[in-house]
Amino acid sequence: MSESNKKDKLTNEERFDQLWNETDNYIENPNAGLVYQKLKDELFPSAQPKILRLNKMGKWLGYVAIFAVVAGAFWFYQHQSHNSLVQIVTARGENRIINLPDGSKIALQENSGISYKKSANREIELKGNAQFTVVHNSSKPFIVTAGELLVKDVGTVFKVTMQDDQASLKSIRVSVSEGSVSILNKKTLKTELTLAHGEEAVYDKRNGMISKKNTGPEVKSITFDNATITAVLEKVSATYGVKLDVANQNITQKTFTGKFEGENIDEVLDMIGFTLNFRHIKKDGKILILFNGDGK
């Protein structure tokens, strides 16, 4: 009879005694718990812990899982980056020209700010005052959020002025120089009115009323008080919504004081240039500032 068959014919008690005696041969004072565990292992071998070994398919599935995690993390990073918020704020006395990816331009005036998502750079939120020169795109309107109003446009030049005091916003003024815009209520998305060039709308927050009037050609006004050439060019650029490039770094240290009202940009630059010793030329849609002694 085989050893395994002999073990099968023994009762549990007899097999326990046998294991005890076997253990007693090499261990002084055998532990009943260990003997019992050995007997349990013989009676219930399926209860033994098993080591999981991955076959090729298991390894492949593991690689797929790791790739999915990495790809998901990369997508999340790209998605967050794509939708990250761009914020630009000007200080007192500072004017800036912002060039948007679609070619549109914003002349942001002092103490003002704009914000937009990288993925939606034709949807701008404005706080303060700015002039917008919008590149035409009929399939993707340009929208400016200003307080309770939405200004919607597909390609034109318009200005938004948010007039306030130290306590709260009092009114919003929208004036159109070229093209046309729609004024919508931000809450209801209802179109309040449409403005064409030479027209202006004023929204009074105190009573919720919006009015419209003809303004005629916009009269630009600009004042300088002992301003440096850098400050002069920045203010002219912001007021007229054009980009001014200085040809070199040999800039005069003189300052300029004066006021202009109604003159076009060429007239303004001619008069300032006479005092500060520079001239200007138009090239490739830009205005180049050339100080005396610069190249032709």
Residue 288 CA to chain centroid, in angstroms?
A: 31
What are the tokens at 273? 């240039």
Q: Is 91 within 8 Å of 72 (Cβ atoms)? A: no
Q: Is the dihedral of CA 115, 141, 145, 236 positive or negative?
A: positive
Q: In whole angstroms, what is the distance from residue 157 CA to residue 179 CA? A: 7
Question: 3-state class of 139 per DSSP?
Answer: coil
Q: In whole angstroms, what is the distance from residue 48 CA to residue 41 CA? A: 7
Q: Is 95 within 8 Å of 110 (Cβ atoms)? A: yes
pLDDT in tens, the chain (296 residues): 555 555 555 666 666 566 556 655 544 555 556 655 665 566 555 555 555 455 555 555 555 555 565 566 555 555 555 568 899 999 988 889 999 989 899 999 989 999 999 888 899 999 999 999 999 888 899 999 999 999 998 878 888 988 775 556 788 999 998 888 999 988 888 888 999 888 899 998 888 889 888 876 666 788 999 998 888 888 888 888 778 888 776 677 888 999 888 888 888 999 998 888 888 888 766 788 888 754 44
Whole-model pTM: value is 0.50
Q: In whole angstroms, what is the distance from residue 65 CA to residue 223 CA? A: 65
**Helices within the chain (DSSP H only):** 3-9, 12-24, 32-43, 56-82, 229-240, 265-276
SS (H, E, C) 41-107: HHHCHHHCCCCCCCCHHHHHHHHHHHHHHHHHHHHHHHHHHHCCEEEEECCCCCCEEEECCCCCEEE
